[in-house]
Amino acid sequence: MKPCAFEYFNPQSVQEAIALLDRYGDEAKIIAGGQSLVPMMNFRLARPEILIDITGIKKLEYIKTEGDELVIGALARERDIEQSPLVVEKWPILSKAISFIGHSAIRNRGTIGGSLVHADPSAEIPTSLCALNGNVKVVGPSGEKILQPEEFFMTYLTTSLEPSDLLVEVRIPALPEKTGWSFGELSRRSGDFAIVAVGILLFTETTGVCREARISMGGVAPTPVRAEEAEALLAGQKITEKLIAEAAQQAAEETDTEPDYHASAEYRMEMARVFVKRGLQEACNMLNGGQ
C-alpha cells in the first residue's frame, strides 16, 4: 500500500515545530528518521493529515558532554551515536546496545529521539536509557520539562508526551571509572527486534565487591523495566556464581510478560533469566579482567 495524502512541513527550529504542533494538535505527526513511522504509514496504520519533518533542525543532532554528562540531541542518528568515539570510550554500553538495532541502513536514519518516543518495550535505546539512569528533555507550548524513564514510558508504544510536545534532548550521567557492563539480547534473526534484551551495569570500589548493580530488561513487560529486587541482592555483596544465579532467578520473577506471536510468556521469562545471568557474568569478568 501507499501512504494516505498529507500536508508536509519542514520547520527549521524547535519553536517553529512546536508552533505547528500546537496549531494542528492530533492531526499532526512528527517525523524524525521515519524508520518506525513510515512503515506504519505505508500500511495505513498511521494516517497523519499533517507531517512535520523535524530533520531540518540541524542543531538537534549533537553528541557532546556537559560537565561529565553525555548530552545527545533528539535528532542524533543511531549510527552516529554507535560510532561516536566519545560514546564508545565513556558509555560503551550505549554503543553496543545500538549496534543491535536493525541494520546499518536503519541506523543511518533512525534517531535517538524517535526510538524513545516510539517506545517499543523491546527496543535497545529505551532499555539502555533505564540502565544508565538517563533522562529526557521535552519542550511544549507551556515550557520545558525533564522526565525520568519511569515518568516517560507509560506502556506499549506509549509515552507521557502530550501531542504538542517535542523531545529535544537526552542526558546520561557519567559512569564511575570501575564499571563492568554488558548488553545482550535474543532475537530470531540478526537485526530483528529483541525477544529479550538485557543491559547490565556493575559499579565497584573494592575488588570483587559490587557497590551498585543495575539490571535493565527490555521485551519482558509493557515498558523496559529495572529488576530492582535482583539489584538489591547484589548491592554491597561479593559476587559469586551462586549469587549471580540467584539474582538472575529473581530478575526473571520481576518480569511481566505476555505471550505474543514471537514467544510464550514462560519462554521470555526463562530467557530473561538466562540473559541476566550471562550479562552479570560478562560484566563481572570485565571488572576482574580490568584489575
Partner 1 sequence: MTDSRRIMVKVNGVDYERLVEPRQLRVDFLRDDLELIGTHFGCEHGICGSCTVLFNGRAVRSCLMFAVQADGADILTVEGLADGKQLHPLQVAFREKHGLQCGFCTPGMLMTAYEFLNENSNPSEEEVRKNMSGVLCRCTGYKQVVDSVMEAAQQMRNK
Ligand X SMILES: Cc1cc2nc3c(=O)[nH]c(=O)nc-3n(C[C@H](O)[C@H](O)[C@H](O)COP(=O)(O)OP(=O)(O)OC[C@H]3O[C@@H](n4cnc5c(N)ncnc54)[C@H](O)[C@@H]3O)c2cc1C
DSSP code of residue 175: P
Name the minimum Å distance from CB 233 to ligand X. 29
Find the shortest distance in angstroms from Cβ 74 to partner 1.
Answer: 17
Q: Which does 232 bind (CB under 5 to 8 A by kind): partner 1, ligand X, none?
A: none
If the CB atoms of residues 116 and 230 are measured against ligand X, the closer one turns out to be 116
Three cell numbers at 51? Answer: 507531517
Cβ–Cβ under 8 Å, residues 207 and 291: yes
166 binds, among ligand X, partner 1, none (CB under 5 to 8 A by kind): ligand X
Order of strands across the sheet that contains 225-226: 179-186, 196-204, 210-218, 225-226
What residues make contact with partner 1 under the rule CB under 8 A? 1-8, 10, 34-35, 38-39, 42-43, 51, 53, 55, 79, 102-106, 108-109, 189-191
Give the end-to-end CA distance of the chain in Å, rounded to a whole number: 57
Query: Residue 136 touches which of ligand X, partner 1, none (CB < 5 to 8 A by kind)?
Result: none
Residue holding cell 554528562? 69
Nearer to ligand X, 79 or 273 (CB): 79
Nearer residue to ligand X within complex by CB, 3 or 174:
3
Q: Find out whether 143 and 18 touch, Cβ atoms under 8 Å.
A: no
Determine the 3-state secondary structure of 153 from DSSP.
strand
**Which partner from the list ligand X, partner 1, none does 108 bind, CB cut-off 5 to 8 Å by kind?**
partner 1
Q: Which of 209, 205, 132 is nearest to 175 (CA)?
A: 132
Please list, residue by residue across 28-44, b when 16 or more beta carbons sit within 10 angstroms of its beta carbon and e when fewer do: bbbbbbbbbbeebbeee
For residue 286, the partner it binds in ligand X, partner 1, none, with Cβ less than 5 to 8 A by kind, is none
* The entry of partner 1, ligand X, none that residue 101 binds, CB within 5 to 8 Å by partner kind: ligand X
Q: How far is the CB of 183 from ligand X (least distance, A)?
A: 12
Q: What is the nearest approach in angstroms of ligand X to the Cβ of residue 257?
A: 18
Nearest to partner 1 of 60, 230 (CB atom): 60
Strands 179-186 and 196-204: antiparallel
Answer whether 190's CB lies under 8 Å from 257's CB.
no
Q: Find the shortest distance in angstroms from Cβ 1 to ligand X.
A: 16
> Could you tell me if 52 and 21 are in contact, meaning their C-beta atoms sit under 8 angstroms apart?
yes
Residues lying near ligand X in the complex (CB under 6 A): 29-37, 39, 74, 101-102, 106, 109-111, 113-115, 117-118, 120, 123-124, 161, 166-167, 193
